[in-house]
Copies of this chain bind each other. A is one copy, B any other.
Amino acid sequence: MQHIQSASVMQTFVLAARREGKRIGAVPTMGYLHDGHASLVRMARAESDIVITTIFVNPLQFAPNEDFTRYPRDFERDWSIAEKAGCDVLFTPSPEEMYPQGFQTNISIGGVSAPFEGVFRPTHFDGVATVVAKLFLLTQPDKAFFGQKDYQQCMVVKKLVRDLAIPLEIVVCPTQRENDGLAMSSRNVYLSAEDRIKSTILWKSLQAAQNLIQQGERHRDRIETILKETLLTMNGLTIDYAAAADADTLEQPTEFAPTQGIVLLLAVRLGATRLIDNLVVR
């Protein structure tokens, strides 16, 4: 596996590879890789000639009060996980490499950025869209692989790609879960032993709401009520949002149509740790 840290070296490498007709797969991450990331790399491996995993903890997508500085980092473990999953190039630019002196560009995506995460992290998706656009230009992938765990982020990135006609395909891969259902996330390492046990309530509440929908329930308030009631059986948990929305547009009708795909979206806090999860029911 090759290690590239320079943006211009990365871009020169992929432009040459594209001229040779190589299919490039990119897996943009913030590092501290887990089996969810590994599944993305394996998927990229299966569909690409060259697999690039990017590791960049993007300061633009963290608000000042968020966990940018304490976000977990472990380069050697990341190297080993990426290599075992079949990665060819690990691209780890520094913040100065991505945002050199005088960087002044911001990309914002209206609509799908606004609700849910957009309410609680108002600058987050601008930071995501800006860094992802730049990572796409630096790595020139034919396909880029994202985890469904960040459901709204996947929608923002798809919108970015469609609106600007970035010539690549976004592949959304299934959320990987621990045995007890907790969605894999680099932030799970923040959880105390007690909160780790409590965290299983996210998956339980998603499943409870899924059951209700599968029994025929289409009223949004009733679906959201079971999400919230299940979550709040756990002491010390705060809900940022627990919502049901159209799986394709994130619109929130009073009642879903019988054939309408529904995404259940959660963001909760356990102690100082913020967890998100989601489930699509079609």
- Which A residues lie at the B interface, using CB under 8 A? 7-8, 11, 15, 18-19, 21, 102-113, 129, 133-134, 137-138, 140, 159-160, 163-167
Contact = CB atoms under 8 A, between A and B. Distances in A.
Nearest to A97: B165
Contacts of A134: 163-165
Nearest to A102: B111
Given A19-B21, A102-B111, 9 more contacts: A11-B167, A15-B167, A19-B19, A105-B107, A105-B108, A106-B110, A134-B165, A137-B165, A137-B166
Instruction: Give the copy number.
Output: 2
Given A18-B19, A104-B159, A107-B107, A167 B137 contact: yes
A7 B137 contact: no
A122 B137 CA distance: 28
Summarize A's interface: helix, strand, loop or mixed: helix
Contact of A164 (B113, B133, B167): B133
Contacts of A163: 103-105, 134
Contacts of A108: 105-106, 108
B160 A105 contact: yes
Q: Which 3 A-B pairs have CB atoms at the shortest separation, nearest pair first?
A: A104-B110, A105-B163, A104-B111
Given A137-B164, A164-B133, A165-B134, A159 B19 contact: no
Contacts of A112: 104
Contacts of A129: 105
Contacts of A103: 163
Contacts of A106: 107-110
Contacts of A111: 102, 104
A165 B134 CA distance: 6
B133 A11 contact: no
A11 B104 contact: no
Contacts of A113: 104
Nearest to A111: B104
25 contacts: A7-B165, A8-B165, A11-B167, A15-B167, A18-B18, A102-B111, A104-B110, A104-B112, A104-B113, A104-B159, A104-B163, A105-B107, A105-B108, A105-B109, A105-B110, A106-B107, A106-B108, A106-B110, A107-B107, A108-B108, A134-B163, A137-B166, A137-B167, A138-B165, A140-B167
